[in-house]
Each structure stands twice: as C-alpha cells, then as structure tokens.
Amino acid sequence: MSEQDIQTLLSFFKTLANENRLKIIGLLTNQERSVEELSSLLNLKEPTVSHHMAKLKEIGLVRMYPDGNTHLYKLNSEALQRMSKDILTTKQLSVITQDINYDAWELKVLNTFLDGEQLKAIPVSRKKRQVILEWLVNKFEKGIKYSEKDVNEVIARYHPDYATLRREFIMNKMMDREGGGGAYWRVEE
C-alpha cells in the first residue's frame, strides 16, 4: 500500500468519524438532497451542513450538481465501492503494518521475566508463559533424546522449578517423552 493510499484511507476514516456525516451519507443513500433539506432533517444550521458536505465532497463520497438555484447532493456509491474494493481489503490493510516489529512484545516479555539468563518467575498469563517456554525449549537441541535428569539439569540452570517447566513443555507439545520416565526430546514444529 502506497503512502498516498494510506493518506486516502486516513482521510476517509477521519471524515466518516463524525456522527452527522454518517447520517448525511445514510440520508443520501435513498435520494439526493439539498443542504436546506439536510439541515431540517438533522436539525443543524445550513453552514454546518455545508461544512460537512465539503468534507464528504473532498474525499469523493458525494457529488453536487445544480438544480436551478439549489445545489443537490448525491452519494457517490461508485467511489464508496472503489474504496472498499481497492483499499479496504484484508490484503491491503495488512500492508499498513509491514514496518511493525512483531517481535517487540515477545522481547518485552523476555525482558520482564528474565534477569540475564535467569528466569525470575514463571508467568501466570498463558500467552506470556508461551513466550518463556519457547525461549527455554530452545536450550534443548532438536533430534537429541534427554533423560529426565538431563532435562531437569538444563531447566534448573534457568529456574529452580524444573518439574513445573518440564510438565509445561509436555502439555504445550514442545517436548515429548517415552512412558515411565524414559527419554525426553524436543518436538519439531
């Protein structure tokens, strides 16, 4: 999405972020109307309605045409459909976020719960705990089988409650094990 598309989208939403403008669009969907008519229907002064019409015209949502001494306004439904089709698509809207650092939240969680390489506490929140577990499971190599004692020793380097963290690995399907206290191994994603 280009910078111009983003600015168009912002103008569109800023313009529509007004109750009276939304009402005007609603009234214009049924028929064309004059400023005087809209003023009466919305219980607004004519200069206020004219101001709203100028904003809607600016983004191309309404068209004005003369009818004798009166100006009539009509909804530009083609512009609304074009905006919806060209810019308001999921694909286009997702491009807006391309410069966001998606790792920022995970880094914040790690900074909150880690003191160097030591885990200060096991997060209560499931999502935060998931971040910590993903960090900790990376301390185990893929394709290697570990004894329960080895798993406990690795986890204990980072936090004393190795039993809880070991169970969390199993429950979250990050590690698997053979029955009866046999080997543990890291599950491939």
Asked which of 78, 95, 112 is the last residue of a domain, the reply is 95
Stated pTM of the model: 0.55
- Average pLDDT of span 6-14: 82
**Amino acid present at 3:** E
Range of the domain at 112: 104-186
What mean pLDDT comes out for the span 102-126?
Answer: 91
**Residue 1: band (very low, low, confident or very high) from pLDDT cuts 50, 70, 90:** low
End-to-end CA distance of the chain: 32
The percentage of residues in the chain with a pLDDT greater than 90, rounded to a whole number, is 59
pLDDT in tens, 130-177: 999 999 999 999 989 999 999 999 999 999 999 999 999 999 999 999
Same domain for 130 and 87, yes or no, is: no
Query: Do the beta carbons of residue 130 and residue 172 sit within 8 Å?
Result: yes
Which residues on adjacent β-strands are paired with residue 175?
Answer: 186
Query: Which pLDDT value is given to residue 9?
Result: 78
Encoded tokens for 45:
């002064």
- 109 and 181 together in one domain: yes
Please count the structural domains in the chain: 2
**Does residue 99 have a pLDDT over 70?**
no
Considering 95, 130, 158, which residue would you say is the last residue of a domain?
95
In the chain, count H helices and then E strands.
10, 8
The reply to whether 176 and 119 lie within a common domain is yes
57-94 pLDDT tens trace: 998 899 998 888 888 999 998 887 887 776 666 666 66
Mean pLDDT taken over the chain: 87
Hey, what are 106's tokens? 């995970």
Q: Is the pLDDT of residue 28 over 80?
A: yes
Domain boundary among 95, 117, 150: 95
The whole-number pLDDT of residue 95 equals: 61
